């Protein structure tokens, strides 16, 4: 907490002085839906956090969602989400052409950048063109856009290369608008650290950032166009024991994946919220170029050999939510209830392994099948997997790497099996296309190489262009069927995230419908931190 005091009194580095967010495609939810339920203001809210990088659109960490969230407090998008779905943000309304290829946005009036320069259509056009050269550091498939044109100062027209069903939520609802007058001269955006790099239109300005401790201090933008910012300052601070820090009053809000923490917190009079939908996955990826794991029958045998319900129950402590073989979570509206599944069945696993010719020796070990399981941290899941596979004669060696080495090995296919946990499974199902074509921004969600299944990619392209939701469901169901049969990945279970906070300090937290941006099952949604203008 000493470092927090230093942060609040100005001892920091990489700082910005602050001076110099589903509706139908053609209809927008009223802006008032973004309002927090109460108008009580809070002077300072302290939230447990960690270092997620410099929060410009090009420099925050892509190893998880928190870097994006830190960025979203400063920079705005054309649309956003609240607890009901997609809502207007910088774009106050929009119209869609009959062929689904053109979106015309009317922009909010009298919006100012943090340096008091006016926001106009020029900034929107510039932003999307700039990202084609210098990609945004998260998802948002810019390649779907053919052109962006200025109609007048407060109107822009997007023309797409093809229909794109999640355009409002997963493209213009993710990619932030940046000021032309600042970025047009920047040719190395990832290295740009001038205070102007953090000039946005958002509800907060970054006052301090301590890169050594990973702590941030945000100050409310008193001129925010959507309405009054309810929390005047937000400090993200490090805490070795987040629950204890919360109980001791050192922080006001945190999260956990442990149900035991929830029970402790509620007994202490703290309020909790469970993420719904769950959105977070713990899964294993198979190296399909491995000489043995390239055979889907072996991957299926491994699936039968793992008691995923037991792993989930022991790790999370709550009610198990076993992953679907089709990847889409069972609590998602896009889940295919008829998809093939792999229940715990050691007899079936043994049968397949015997058929594949992996015979046991006198010690019950299949000597010709020795696999390595790579992790990026000490995960109890891995230890349990090792013991479960031993029961069917498979010797599993655990290999733990640091984060950088892990993501490099994933991208270069230098592993046998990898276990990873990440978010992003609660939003639009287009994430299936991104994950398995190696285009996902989250370093832990993608192997970095495309799945070699032509039929899957054909369906993936079809679903993103299908504007009829019923027909799109049918296509996504087929994609799940292919994934369940081929098993390029096996979702072990879904981790429910639990938000824990002091309700007497601030009680405006809610779940975001479908998760923030591209399915982040977290609570740090700026829509709940403002009292929107009616």
Per residue in 354-370, pLDDT (tens digit) is: 999 999 999 999 999 99
Q: What is the DSSP secondary structure assignment for residue 240, as one 8-state letter? A: S
pLDDT at 417 over 90: yes
Identify the pLDDT of residue 11: 36
Distance CA 522, CA 516 (A): 7
Confidence of residue 440 (pLDDT cuts 50, 70, 90): low
> Average pLDDT for residues 417-422, to the nearest whole number?
90
Alpha helices in 140-295 (DSSP H): 167-170, 180-183, 242-247, 259-267
pLDDT at 20 over 80: no
Q: Which residue has the tokens 């080495």?
A: 405
pLDDT at 32 over 50: no
**Half-sphere CA count of 356, side-chain side, radius 13 A:** 22
Residue 26: Cβ within 10 Å count = 12
Distance CA 46, CA 246 (A): 9
What six digits make up the tokens of 531? 């009292």
Provide the pairing of β-strand 370-375 with 417-423: parallel
Q: State pTM to two decimals.
A: 0.85
Q: Chain-wide mean pLDDT for the chain?
A: 89
Identify the pLDDT of residue 24: 35
What six digits make up the tokens of 16? 């910005």
Identify the pLDDT of residue 441: 59
Which residues on neighbouring strands pair with residue 79, listed in sequence order?
Answer: 88
pLDDT at 444 over 70: no
Whole-angstrom CA distances from 73 to 58, 89, 500 are 15, 13, 21
Q: Which of 395, 398, 299 is nearest to 349 (CA)?
A: 299
The least confident of 60-69, 193-202, 204-213 is: 60-69
pLDDT at 7 over 70: no
Identify the pLDDT of residue 21: 32
Which residues on neighbouring strands pair with residue 272, listed in sequence order?
Answer: 500
Identify the pLDDT of residue 450: 59
Whole-angstrom CA distances from 345 to 124, 160, 243, 273, 331 are 54, 48, 38, 35, 24
Burial class (CB in 10 A: 0-12, 13-18, 19+), 109: exposed
> Average pLDDT for residues 86-110, to the nearest whole number?
97
Distance CA 437, CA 62 (A): 18
Q: Which of 190, 208, 210 is nearest to 50 (CA)?
A: 210
Identify the pLDDT of residue 279: 84
61-67: Cβ within 8 A, 24+ apart: 62/137, 62/138, 62/441, 62/442, 62/443, 63/403, 63/407, 63/442, 63/443, 63/444, 64/422, 64/423, 64/442, 64/444, 65/423, 65/424, 65/442, 65/516, 65/517, 65/520, 65/522, 67/137, 67/138
Provide the pairing of β-strand 370-375 with 395-400: parallel
Identify the pLDDT of residue 443: 56
Classified as helix, coil or strand, 304 is: helix
Burial 228-244 (b: 16+ CB within 10 A, else e): bbbbebbbbbbbeebbe
pLDDT at 103 over 60: yes
Q: Which residue has the tokens 């397949």?
A: 352
């Amino acid at each position: 907490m000493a470092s927090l005091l230093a942060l609040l009194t100005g001892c920091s580095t990489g700082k910005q002085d602050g001076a110099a967010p589903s509706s139908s495609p053609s209809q927008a939810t009223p802006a008032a839906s973004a309002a927090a339920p109460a108008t009580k203001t809070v002077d300072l809210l302290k939230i447990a956090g960690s270092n997620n990088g410099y929060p410009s659109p090009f420099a925050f960490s892509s190893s998880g969602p928190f870097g994006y969230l830190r960025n979203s407090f400063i920079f705005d998008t054309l649309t956003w989400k609240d607890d009901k779905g997609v809502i207007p943000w910088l774009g106050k309304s929009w119209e869609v052409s009959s062929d689904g290829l053109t979106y015309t946005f009317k922009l909010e009036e009298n919006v100012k950048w943090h340096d008091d320069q006016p926001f106009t259509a020029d900034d929107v056009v510039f932003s999307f063109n700039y990202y084609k050269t210098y990609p945004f550091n998260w998802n948002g498939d810019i390649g779907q856009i053919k052109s962006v044109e200025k109609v007048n100062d407060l109107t822009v027209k997007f023309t797409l290369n093809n229909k794109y069903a999640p355009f409002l939520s997963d493209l213009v609802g993710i990619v932030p608008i940046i000021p032309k007058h600042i970025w047009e001269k920047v040719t190395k955006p990832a290295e740009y650290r001038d205070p102007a790099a953090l000039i946005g239109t958002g509800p907060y300005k970054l006052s301090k950032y301590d890169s050594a401790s990973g702590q941030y201090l945000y100050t409310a933008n008193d001129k925010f166009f959507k309405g009054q910012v309810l929390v005047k300052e937000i400090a993200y601070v490090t805490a070795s024991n987040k629950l204890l820090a919360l109980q001791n009053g050192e922080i006001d809000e945190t999260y956990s994946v442990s149900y035991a923490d929830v029970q402790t917190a509620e007994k202490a009079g703290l309020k909790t919220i469970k993420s719904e939908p769950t959105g977070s996955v713990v899964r294993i990826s198979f190296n399909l170029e491995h000489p043995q794991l390239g055979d889907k029958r072996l991957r299926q045998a491994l699936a039968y050999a793992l008691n995923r319900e037991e792993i989930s129950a022991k790790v999370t402590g709550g009610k198990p939510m076993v992953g679907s073989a089709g990847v889409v979570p069972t609590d998602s509206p896009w889940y295919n209830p008829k998809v093939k599944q792999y229940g715990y069945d050691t007899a079936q696993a043994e049968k397949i392994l015997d058929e594949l010719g992996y015979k046991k020796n006198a010690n019950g070990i299949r000597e010709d099948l020795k696999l390595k399981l790579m992790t990026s941290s000490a995960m109890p899941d891995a230890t349990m997997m090792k013991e479960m596979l031993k029961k069917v004669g498979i010797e599993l060696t655990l290999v733990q790497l640091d984060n950088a080495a892990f993501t490099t090995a994933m991208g270069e296919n230098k592993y046998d099996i990898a276990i990873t946990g990440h978010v992003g499974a609660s939003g639009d199902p287009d994430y299936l296309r991104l994950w398995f074509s190696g285009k996902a921004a989250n370093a832990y969600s993608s192997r970095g190489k495309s799945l070699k299944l032509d039929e899957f990619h054909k369906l993936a392209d079809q679903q993103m262009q299908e504007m009829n939701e019923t027909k799109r469901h049918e296509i996504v169901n087929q994609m799940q069927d292919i994934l369940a049969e081929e098993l390029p990945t096996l979702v072990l279970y879904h981790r429910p995230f639990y938000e824990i906070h002091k309700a007497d300090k601030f009680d405006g937290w809610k779940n975001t419908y479908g998760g923030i941006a591209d399915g982040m099952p977290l609570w740090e949604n700026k829509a709940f931190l403002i009292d929107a203008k009616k």
